[in-house]
Amino acid sequence: MLKKNKIYVAPSILSADFSKLGEEIRDVESCGADIIHIDVMDGHFVPNITIGPSVIKSLRKTTRLPFDVHLMIEEPDRYIDDFALSGSDIITVHEETTRHLHRTLQKIREASSKFPMEKTGRVFKDILCGVSVNPHRPLCAIEEIVKETDLLLIMTVNPGFGGQKFIEETMDKIKKANNMLKNLKTVIEVDGGVNRENAGRLIQNGVNILVAGNYIFSAKNRKSAIKSLRG
Ligand code: DX5
Ligand code: ZN
């Protein structure tokens, strides 16, 4: 579903105008976005609270672009079905938010078959599952599980807020991850502080999905901002 030889730009709607999310999504779609990145925060795992499944469900009607739902919540198992039903195409959890990560990924796969695309309005036939690693966490924390995933999300800022500075030290981890995934279908996504200055290097180091919030939504010309990320 996600190709390793393609670059996807995924605007994070965290930096969009929340009073007109539907319009903002349609706008970035017309400017060339490939995926819509949606940040879900619970005020526990991260010090911020954003949106939940009901908002995602209403946004589902505004676009046919895939929804990449980034769960920054404790005990994500409790909400997997709700996010599947709201039309998520990709569901990503943080490795340290669940005691049994393997079971959580199984739950995402089960939700995918339990709620077929016709029922939820998602774009992908199957829901893809992702695991995310925070800047301070080592790749060995996910080494055993990565083959079960479709996507590895490497955080390039500490999660919680848009508009933060890219943490340069994560670049090495991206190179290592690329090596770790070389025989797998799992793609690498990066999230946080992505802009035209680092996009080229990120792509060179094996990244397939570039999430960008502030850089795209605050740009005067969103079309050229998106284009500038493709390298
Ligand atoms: C941070 C979020 C990001 C954020 C990225 O916790 O997961 O998706 O919106 O925003 P920028 O690109 O502004 O750093
Ligand atoms: Zn995110």
| Bridge partners for 130 per DSSP | 92, 151
What Rg value do the Cα atoms of the chain yield, rounded? Answer: 16
Task: Give the number of other CB atoms < 10 A from CB of residue 121.
Answer: 15
Q: How confident is the model at residue 1 (pLDDT cuts 50, 70, 90)?
A: confident
The owner of tokens 């079309």 is 223
CA of 10 relative to ligand 1 center, distance in Å: 11
Please tell me the distance from the alpha carbon of residue 89 to that of residue 86, in angstroms, as a whole number: 10
| Contact residues of ligand 1, CB 6 A cut-off | 12, 14-15, 37, 39, 70, 157, 159-160, 162-164, 191-194, 211-215
The pLDDT score that the predictor gives to residue 93 is 99
Which amino acid is located at 33 in the chain? Answer: A
- Are the CB atoms for 39 and 14 separated by under 8 Å? yes
The pLDDT score that the predictor gives to residue 231 is 76
42 is catalytic: no
CA of 165 relative to ligand 2 center, distance in Å: 14
* pLDDT single digits (tens) 9-54: 999 999 999 999 999 999 999 999 999 999 999 999 999 999 999 9
User: Of 222, 228, 201, 187, whose CA–CA distance to 68 is shortest?
Assistant: 187
Ligand 1 atom nearest to CA at 212: 12
* pLDDT single digits (tens) 94-118: 999 999 999 999 999 999 999 999 9
Residue 32 backbone zone (phi > 0: left; psi -120 to 50: alpha; other: beta): left
CA of 115 relative to ligand 1 center, distance in Å: 29
Please tell me the distance from the alpha carbon of residue 192 to that of residue 163, in angstroms, as a whole number: 8
Ligand 1 atom nearest to CA at 216: 12
pTM > 0.85: yes or no: yes
Ligand 1 atom nearest to CA at 194: 12
What percent of the chain clears pLDDT 70, i.e. is strictly above it? 100
The pLDDT score that the predictor gives to residue 163 is 98
191 is catalytic: yes
User: Of 172, 171, 211, whose CA–CA distance to 193 is shortest?
Assistant: 211
The pLDDT score that the predictor gives to residue 172 is 98
Q: Which of 27, 39, 68, 150 is catalytic?
A: 39
CA of 30 relative to ligand 1 center, distance in Å: 21
Burial profile 80-100: b = 16 or more Cβ within 10 angstroms, e = fewer: bbebbbbbbbbbbbbbebbee
